[in-house]
Amino acid sequence: MAQILDGLKVSKEVKAEIKEEVQKILANKRRAPHLVAILVGNNGASKAYVNSKVKDCEEVGFSSSLIKFPSTVAESELLEKIEELNRSKDVDGFIVQLPLPKQIDQEKIIMAIDPRKDVDGFHPENFGKMALEMDTFLPATPFGILTLLERYNIETKGKNCVIIGRSRIVGKPMSILMGRKDFPGNSTVTLTHSYTEHIEEYTKEADIVITALGDPYFLKAEMIKEGAVIIDVGITRVDDDSEKGYHLAGDVDFDSCAEKASWITPVPGGVGPMTRAMLMKNTIIAYKTSVYND
């Protein structure tokens, strides 16, 4: 029976450490770190995530601002706001919640963010630095997974790590990070995706499987090796008759996989809360390295 990689618990530890740092900052009569989130449109899940980021900021003692635009916003208006935040001396970091409406070129928006304030770690400059193992903001979800592996002391060196999904915010950066030269890296990485044939032939050989697909219950016990470490990044809202009207489903068939794995992340309470905690971590890193705070 697998042990749980408890993202909720570790996220609370990470946030408590950040809160302590903020208290020291305030004791030195400096302003608190400030995170800004931009939300475009009315998507239920996006609203929920952004609201939880504001809540996390309160919890660790950051200032936060939420800037909302209608889904019809012009790209130019969004770019103007980004320029303003880039210049603002009291904003340490900001994020533009994805996905964006179709009329907006996502790459153009990400490129406009000052890399020093890009606490999502999505800007190509930061992605490149990450790939070259230079100091930079790591994207929050991969950073959260690394932190979980680190805090539970999961051996990654020399292990076969299979990643499912090659998105720019999870699969692709994760594939780079698991192969890097320090802990928790040094894995032999296989990046699988929608064109991978016979995916189970890869997952069956994996010591570590990281799924980032958004396909509920995709990974079944028959597809994994005895003793594997299973990291479930998928969080899909599945409609049901409950009061909320939906429940959250991971990419992993948890009940069957938990009998075979050595370690496994739950959904909810696994990678999701870690993602949120690492955004706070990146924000305090931005604050500390900010040219305005030296």
Ligand X SMILES: Nc1nc(=O)c2c([nH]1)NC[C@@H]1CN(c3ccc(C(=O)N[C@@H](CCC(=O)O)C(=O)O)cc3)C=[N+]21
Nearest residue to ligand X on Cβ basis: 272
Secondary structure of residue 291 in the 3-state scheme: helix
* Angle, helix 271-289 to helix 44-60, in steps of 10 degrees: 50
Shortest CB 65 distance to ligand X, Å: 15
**Binding status of residue 267 toward ligand X by CB under 6 A:** yes
Q: Which of 273, 281, 283, 284 binds ligand X (CB under 6 A)?
A: 273
Q: Which stretch binds ligand X (CB under 6 A): 89-97, 127-135, 151-159, 180-188?
A: 89-97
Interface of this chain with ligand X, residues 131 to 150, rule: CB under 6 A: 140
Q: Which of 22, 112, 212, 235 binds ligand X (CB under 6 A)?
A: 235
Q: Which stretch binds ligand X (CB under 6 A): 111-119, 203-211, 223-231, 264-272?
A: 264-272
- The CA dihedral of 156, 198, 1, 231, to the nearest 10 degrees, is 50
Q: What are phi and psi of 29, to 5 degrees?
A: 60, 30
Binding mask 31-70 for ligand X (x = CB under 6 A): -----------------xx--x------------------
The Cα–Cα gap between 94 and 37 comes to 6
**Binding status of residue 109 toward ligand X by CB under 6 A:** no
**Binding status of residue 275 toward ligand X by CB under 6 A:** yes
CB atoms within 10 A of CB 128: 12
**Binding status of residue 268 toward ligand X by CB under 6 A:** yes
The Cα–Cα gap between 286 and 64 comes to 14
97 among known catalytic residues = yes
Catalytic residue among 120, 207, 251, 253: 120
> H helices of the chain, where?
7-27, 44-60, 75-87, 106-112, 124-131, 140-151, 171-177, 199-203, 254-260, 271-289
Q: Which of 32, 78, 91, 95 binds ligand X (CB under 6 A)?
A: 95
CA 50 to mean position of chain CA atoms: 13
Cβ contact 14:280 at 8 Å: yes
**Binding status of residue 104 toward ligand X by CB under 6 A:** no
Residues that bind ligand X (CB under 6 A): 48-49, 52, 95-98, 120, 140, 235, 248, 267-269, 272-273, 275-276
Residues designated catalytic: 53, 97, 120
